[in-house]
Structure 1
């Protein structure tokens, strides 16, 4: 019998993790379940049902322990209500310990309170000595097992949320992005976006996630257009390609004794093979 794999989220815009639902039948989207994770038992919500999951990861799929009960939901809420207290204590203690460059971002109890994870970031690449902070947290919030976990600039921006660099009321990462894609300068170049830092950098100080949104469309469109500086035949004569507008399929050409002219791709005399060679 083929197992049914379900995708589970632990917060509304969090990454989806996959689990085997074989022990818990008839699960549907939006059901709450209890699973074992690296941060202890967690209560998550089913986001998708996958009937054909493909090749399982090394070690196989982890199983869903059981369907969550109303009591589980109340228990999780009671522990979540304690998280602001953890945050205040951790930040104050970090100041007292003079942990320069260490920022306490957020805290999270496992749904049953057995584990407490405090997320932090640092301004330098040097490893911070947080042994004393961890010990103080352990004493204060025992019997929960305390773990300090460092996160990167993108995750910090996602947790803090706020206005996006483009002026969007809420940043993409805290509104709908459940995973971060790999972003490169090439994506900006392919779309003809200015490479000035203010144009391509997000509030996290990294390249903006939105550079990937239309990258494939631009890349595909450019593959059918002549390259810049290429000599090409036009209805007004032979000239050199100065610029292109990929999505409009328009090409700007500098023609001797004529000047700049703009043509649609259908008006030009060139082959796809010439594009690839250029």
Structure 2
């Protein structure tokens, strides 16, 4: 999904698509953040934020690093940072004042002494080491899954991320419960010759790391911008009058879609105008049961036990029937609203009288012209043949 203009220019800096704020396709840096403070001038160099946000593994992992160098980095620069027992190479995703807002969002202190540092701009050797070690990740993922299966561990290794210098590897796994992987770490360390770190992630986080296209036709929210995963349950679908269909409501991760939460507040605000104690109404035909609430037309749909037909009622009518039922008065009818169904009008073809549009005399004239042309052409050919035969006789 990345743009075709991406590449590496001189100085090991990606060319990018020059969108001045983020790749328009969302493929170059999946968890991209728009820097709306990018053009803010530096008023005081001493107060300038010296912390830089660096992204790794195509934006699936981000961290903050202190810039102790004398160089100001821009978004998209490749830098070499401190790693575990070595160094790592990442891409600068945010700089300046917007980093302070991001640190406040994630609860990171700017004066944290344990914050790692930026060592230098990435060199050709650093990039070559990263390319070699990144090429080991697919094979390491397959091998690590096979080892976990041989040890009968109830876990699934989702992704393997190897540090740029090849000294450390992070294994992301999914498990329903706690997993005793003490022996597994020893086997991984002996197999891959690296320092092993195990991180447990959820199914939604796995979908964000893998990426993909959702049922809406766009890239997954968890792979492009969503970082806070809120719980989603079936009651949210009921508030929005959605059918409880697990196949339609589930996303790529197999859990309920995160986008079910997006319009929930709008539905809850609209449902406040509806009465809560009107699930059943008594009329002369029997008890009417509430089927659904339509917040767009402010209607409540009821069904009678002896009929499969659904009756739409206004909120005022429902409240009136409820008041009558509380007074032990049973109305004769629900007085449902008649909804006009807008059907396209069929346009009948109009009769067109084509008689007299074409004159017979015009047709006769055209026919005479054709005959005249054919006759003249045949006479010309006959005269030409006679002239040629006369010439042949003279030659004899």
CA distance in 1 between partners of 2:83 and 2:89 (Å): 10
From 217, 231, 242, the equivalent of 1:183 is 231
Kindly tell me: are residues 30 and 190 of structure 1, through their superposed partners in 2, closer, same or farther at Cα, counting changes over 3 Å?
farther
Deviation at 1:80, TM superposition (A): 0.3
CA distance in 1 between partners of 2:85 and 2:236 (Å): 35
Kindly tell me: are residues 95 and 220 of structure 1, through their superposed partners in 2, closer, same or farther at Cα, counting changes over 3 Å?
same
Q: Residue 10 of structure 1 contacts residue 42 of structure 1 at CA under 8 Å; is this kept in 2?
A: no
Q: Which residue of 2 is the match for residue 129 of structure 1?
A: 180
* 2:111 equivalent to 1:60: yes
Partner SS for 2:165: coil
Per-residue deviation, residues 145-172 of structure 1 (Å, max 9, x unmatched): 12233222222333444564x3747544
Partner SS for 1:259: coil
Deviation at 1:100, TM superposition (A): 4.2
* 2:241 equivalent to 1:192: yes
Q: Residue 293 of structure 2 contacts residue 299 of structure 2 at CA under 8 Å; is this kept in 1?
A: yes
Per-residue deviation, residues 191-212 of structure 1 (Å, max 9, x unmatched): 3333443343334232211213
> Greater CA deviation, 191-200 or 148-157?
191-200
CA distance in 1 between partners of 2:63 and 2:255 (Å): 25
Kindly tell me: are residues 138 and 242 of structure 1, through their superposed partners in 2, closer, same or farther at Cα, counting changes over 3 Å?
closer
Kindly tell me: are residues 260 and 18 of structure 1, through their superposed partners in 2, closer, same or farther at Cα, counting changes over 3 Å?
farther
Partner SS for 2:129: helix
CA distance in 2 between partners of 1:249 and 1:212 (Å): 22
Return the TM-score normalized by structure 1. 0.70
Structure number with bigger Rg: 2
From 70, 73, 81, the equivalent of 2:127 is 73
CA distance in 2 between partners of 1:94 and 1:63 (Å): 32
Q: Residue 250 of structure 1 contacts residue 262 of structure 1 at CA under 8 Å; is this kept in 2?
A: no
Q: Which residue of 1 is the match for residue 76 of structure 2?
A: 30
Q: Which residue of 2 is the match for residue 105 of structure 1?
A: 158
Kindly tell me: are residues 115 and 63 of structure 1, through their superposed partners in 2, closer, same or farther at Cα, counting changes over 3 Å?
closer
Kindly tell me: are residues 190 and 145 of structure 1, through their superposed partners in 2, closer, same or farther at Cα, counting changes over 3 Å?
same
CA distance in 1 between partners of 2:55 and 2:226 (Å): 9
Number of aligned residue pairs: 247
Kindly tell me: are residues 90 and 15 of structure 1, through their superposed partners in 2, closer, same or farther at Cα, counting changes over 3 Å?
closer
Q: Which residue of 1 is the match for residue 55 of structure 2?
A: 9
From 252, 259, 265, the equivalent of 2:335 is 259
Q: Which residue of 2 is the match for residue 212 of structure 1?
A: 261
Partner SS for 1:74: helix
Gaps of 5+ in 1: 231-240, 264-278
> Greater CA deviation, 250-259 or 204-213?
250-259
Deviation at 1:220, TM superposition (A): 4.7
* 2:79 equivalent to 1:43: no
CA distance in 1 between partners of 2:84 and 2:262 (Å): 32
Q: Residue 39 of structure 1 contacts residue 117 of structure 1 at CA under 8 Å; is this kept in 2?
A: no
Partner SS for 2:184: helix
Q: Which residue of 2 is the match for residue 275 of structure 1?
A: none
By percentage of residues, which structure has more strand? 1
* 2:203 equivalent to 1:153: yes
Partner SS for 2:336: strand
Q: Residue 34 of structure 1 contacts residue 64 of structure 1 at CA under 8 Å; is this kept in 2?
A: no
Kindly tell me: are residues 63 and 213 of structure 1, through their superposed partners in 2, closer, same or farther at Cα, counting changes over 3 Å?
same
Per-residue deviation, residues 58-94 of structure 1 (Å, max 9, x unmatched): 4735354133233322221110011122123222322
Gaps of 5+ in 2: 1-45, 279-289, 301-312, 318-330, 340-396
Kindly tell me: are residues 105 and 40 of structure 1, through their superposed partners in 2, closer, same or farther at Cα, counting changes over 3 Å?
farther
